Amino acid sequence: MLQDFLLKEEKVQAFMCEKDTEYIGQIAPLMKIGALEFEERPGDAARNNGRRPRVLSFFRDDPDMEARPEEWERETFGGTYICFRIRPQKGNPWETVDRDLALKCVTGFALIKKSVYLLDGFRFSVTHDAAFGSKNLTFGIFRINELMQRGQIGEFSVFFMNVNGTGEMNAQIGRENGTHVMREFVKRLEDVLEEPEAVWRIGGDNLGAVVRNEKTDRFLEMLQGTYIPYGSGEEESYRICATAGICPGSNEFHKTEQIVDAAQTCMNMARFMKHAPYLVYDQQIIRMLENARHVELAFPEALAREEFQVYYQPKVSLLNNEVIGAEALCRWIRDGKVVPPDQFIPVLERSKLICDLDFYMLEHVCRDIRGWIDMGGKPVEISTNFSRMHLNNPNLSRQIVEIINRYDIPHELIIVELTETTSSVHMKRMGELVSKLKDEGIRTSVDDFGVGYSSMSMLRDIPFSEIKIDRSFLTYTTDTRDRSAVMMKHVISMASELGMRCIAEGVETPDQIRMLKEMDCLRAQGFYFDKPLPKEAFMKRLRMRVYSEKLVN
């Protein structure tokens, strides 16, 4: 009978389940067992991974709690102890033979369950993040796979999330507090979910989740911004938010990795799009991905064939409407048609091919300036854009200088435009780059100024030569008393006092020109004067430097 009991238990792979209770219930009365309990006392490592002391009752039927129990106790791993404990039935005390038989029963049962427990512990360590005590990507893969096998994945959506500005957060409140905020953020997300929904940490500042479709809106609200308290002060809290990619579950997916990859792709695309806190995987995204694959495959040949052409949008002095410079913008001419920049620039930024294009553009700008000088023309300063992707390149300043020197271009004719960043690491690298270029006599400009969260700290910490006011400030109003206009006026004044020039981009109307003059922003760029021009048209404009037909006073 005991052998039969143990053979049955060997087939039970779960640590504690209905089968255990059923089998124990069959044999316990015959051995006068009134209770069988399991106790766990986790060691330090296990507690750090979220394990807590616990007592579980496998079987309980009127036990004698005053009688001395028989115990089987062992240390498993990392200082963790497990104990199986049996008690006799009340009013039915054990004789010696009864005690020996009951102990053999619990010993056999405990050895079997210990192996299952160790397997559970191994699974826990594999599926949980030691640093955060949260579930990890392996758990997420298992959970999504379970839902797919059950045919329930269509009821859920898979999230891939990137927590924004963790470097800036750690710089502001310290790494220890930053880690605390991240842990609490994960717990807040878990609190709105129920099994089999789950949140897991993928690594770094990336998280994953599987959420019921009817809860996605609530989940997204939390991702848009949640205040997490930290430290000892009651008022100390940090607002944390995340960019997300969402893939609605579907039986059309045959592999777990396909769903996760789709969600991650959407998240990566959202990160490179302005004002897109999340993207959902749908037919439009599929078309964008197909376009991205086409762009990436076509790019090397297109670059070699010089299909990318430089267009120049004039920068104009509002004192006399004279052309004082231009921004070099890329246009892709393929098979006689212009490929819109928004169809290839974001793709190249995600794949880091943008770095090759940026150097290509600088090379062609220098070649054009050299040609204008050789023809006896009077060149103007040209700004050329460099992606944040370059900031991981320690040799960037040297490579820029080498290209400019190759064409013997005066350094003051080139302005390197950079886009502001919220990453503290990138901020530091950007500051180093700007300082190195300044030492070489090359000016720098921060593009789209005012749309990010780090604008003021950038003005304070990085010695830019120029800031370009984002067009959003102009589109809101032309009333100088408006809040946006007041902010813009003070930014212009502050930049001027710091020795930086200001230029407004996206200028389209006479009213905007009047407002800029009132604010002492006397440089502008936009359709009011000219759209981006091909090289020949821009050369003609340089010969007619003044827009005589445009408003001056």
Which is nearest to 35 in space by CA: 9, 19, 68, 57?
Answer: 57
CA–CA–CA angle 455, 460, 461 (5° rounding): 100
Task: State the Cα–Cα distance between residues 256 and 146, nearest whole angstrom.
Answer: 9
Q: Going by C-beta distance under 8 Å and a sequence separation of 6 or more, which residues neighbour residue 490?
A: none
Q: Which residue is listed with tokens 């039970």?
A: 12
Q: Are 156 and 249 in contact (CB under 8 A)?
A: yes
Beta strands, E only, 214-290: 226-229, 237-240, 242-248, 278-280
Q: CA torsion sign, 221 to 224 to 228 to 233?
A: negative
Q: DSSP states of 451-520 as a string? A: SSS-HHHHHHHS--SEEEE-THHHHH-S-TTSHHHHHHHHHHHHHHHTT-EEEEES--SHHHHHHHHHTT
Alpha-carbon distance values, 512 to 317, 477, 478, 508, 527 (Å): 14, 9, 6, 7, 12
Task: State the Cα–Cα distance between residues 411 and 327, nearest whole angstrom.
Answer: 16
Q: CA torsion sign, 374 to 305 to 268 to 395?
A: negative
Grouping H, G, I as helix, E, B as strand and the rest as coil, residue 13 is coil
Beta bridge partners of 325: 315, 381
Task: State the Cα–Cα distance between residues 329 and 363, nearest whole angstrom.
Answer: 13
| Cβ burial 381-392 (10 Å sphere, 16+ → b, else e) | bbbbbbbbbbbe
Per-residue pLDDT of the chain (553 residues; tens, 9 = 90+): 778 888 888 888 777 778 888 888 888 888 899 999 999 898 877 776 667 898 888 888 899 998 888 899 988 877 888 899 999 999 888 888 888 888 888 898 888 888 888 887 777 778 888 777 788 999 999 999 999 998 999 999 999 999 988 887 887 888 888 888 998 999 999 999 999 999 999 988 999 999 999 999 999 999 998 899 887 655 688 899 999 999 999 888 888 999 999 999 899 888 877 667 899 998 888 888 888 889 999 999 999 999 999 999 999 999 999 999 999 999 999 988 999 898 899 889 887 899 999 999 999 999 999 999 999 888 999 999 999 889 889 899 999 999 999 999 999 999 999 886 656 667 788 889 999 999 999 999 988 776 544 456 777 788 899 988 877 777 655 565 677 777 778 888 888 888 889 999 999 999 899 889 988 899 999 999 999 999 999 999 998 899 887 655 5
Grouping H, G, I as helix, E, B as strand and the rest as coil, residue 292 is helix
DSSP state of 391: G
Q: Are 86 and 106 in contact (CB under 8 A)?
A: yes
List of domains in the chain: 2-128 (no CATH), 134-281 (3.30.70.270), 290-543 (3.20.20.450)
Q: Are 438 and 444 in contact (CB under 8 A)?
A: yes
Question: Is the full-model pTM beyond 0.75?
Answer: no
Q: DSSP states of 300-362 as a string? A: HHHHHTT-EEEEEEEEEETTTTEEEEEEEEEEEEETTEEEPGGGTHHHHHHHTTHHHHHHHHH
Task: State the Cα–Cα distance between residues 20 and 292, nearest whole angstrom.
Answer: 55
Task: State the Cα–Cα distance between residues 417 and 447, nearest whole angstrom.
Answer: 6
DSSP state of 105: H
Which is nearest to 198 in space by CA: 229, 224, 222, 219?
Answer: 219
